């Protein structure tokens, strides 16, 4: 099975903890950055497989003696091709491509925000949108290599993720990290920063 378009699900194999409180957040919580990389890998795999391309629009905001002192870069995503009916594609990856139904080129930040808005059904009040994203991917998984359940301990609710080993061996997916994908013209640190900026817009900061 070709799993190159379903990295959002496969990346859950790298989850920091298989048992977690979906409503909790703390300063050193790893799930926000982990979710950022899941989104990054999903986007990068679509770019790497030529479904999308990145366009950098450079605008000089301040020039002195012909030299640019302040430069602003806007990143655009352009759809290059559509998936075929028999393609195996993840729910998150499909949600990304669905943003291009009415336009072939869209701003990267706008695409990310609209994807998160769809994934979270307009809810911007999560304590930990990273964990919420993972729960939504599990809810809409298509490879079915994970089983998630809700457990209660004292006053807390926990999500438990278990792996179907037989299904995993049958599919034998290749696990990718964001560093595996070249993303010219955008640096990985900038890419992660843009994704995180949009994701935390769905976090309750009160």
Give pLDDT tens digits for 47-99.
999 999 999 988 766 666 666 666 788 999 999 999 999 999 999 999 999 99
1 in any annotated domain: no
Residue 58 confidence (pLDDT): 80
pLDDT 10s digits, 3-29: 999 999 999 999 999 999 999 998 899
Q: How many CA atoms lie within 13 A of 84 on its CB side?
A: 3
- Tell me which residue range forms the domain holding 89: 7-202
Residue 22 covered by a domain? yes
Q: For residue 143, which of 91, 94, 86 has the smallest C-alpha distance?
A: 91
The mean-pLDDT minimum among 31-35, 106-110, 151-155, 176-180 falls in 151-155
User: 3-state DSSP: the chain helix, strand, coil percent, rounded to 5?
Assistant: 40, 25, 35
d(CA 183, CA 206): 35
Helix axes of 188-199 and 31-48: crossing angle, nearest 10 degrees: 120
Asked if the structure places residue 49 within a domain, the reply is: yes
Q: What is the mean pLDDT of the chain?
A: 93
Tokens found for residue 144: 């079915």
Please give the Cα distance from 2 to 7 (Å, whole number).
Answer: 11
Output the pTM of the full model. 0.93
- Domain for residue 13, yes or no? yes
CB atoms within 10 A of CB 95: 19
Q: How many domains does the chain have?
A: 1
Which pLDDT score, from 0 to 100, does residue 1 have? 85
Q: Token pair of 163, please?
A: 């792996």
Residue 119 domain flag: yes
The answer to whether residue 109 sits within a structural domain is: yes
Q: Is residue 38 a part of any domain in this protein? A: yes
Report percent pLDDT > 70 for the chain.
94
Q: Would 2 be classed as within a structural domain?
A: no
């Amino acid at each position: 099975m070709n799993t190159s378009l379903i990295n959002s699900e496969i990346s859950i194999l790298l989850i920091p903890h298989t048992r977690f409180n979906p409503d909790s957040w703390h300063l050193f919580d790893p799930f926000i950055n982990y979710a950022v990389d899941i989104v990054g890998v999903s986007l990068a795999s679509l770019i790497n497989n030529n479904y999308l391309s990145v366009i950098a629009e450079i605008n000089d905001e301040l020039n002195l003696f012909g030299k640019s002192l302040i430069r602003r870069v806007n990143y655009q995503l352009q759809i290059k091709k559509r998936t075929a009916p028999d393609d195996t594609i993840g729910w998150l990856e499909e949600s990304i491509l669905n943003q291009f139904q009415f336009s072939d080129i869209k701003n990267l930040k706008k695409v990310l925000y609209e994807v998160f808005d769809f994934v979270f059904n307009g809810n911007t009040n999560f304590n930990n949108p990273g964990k919420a994203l993972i729960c939504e991917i599990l809810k809409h998984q298509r490879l079915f290599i994970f089983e998630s359940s809700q457990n209660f301990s004292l006053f807390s609710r926990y999500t438990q993720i278990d792996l179907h080993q037989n299904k995993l061996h049958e599919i034998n997916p290749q696990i990718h990290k964001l560093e595996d994908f070249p993303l010219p013209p955008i640096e990985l640190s900038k890419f992660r920063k843009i994704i995180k900026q949009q994701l935390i817009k769905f976090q309750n900061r009160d």
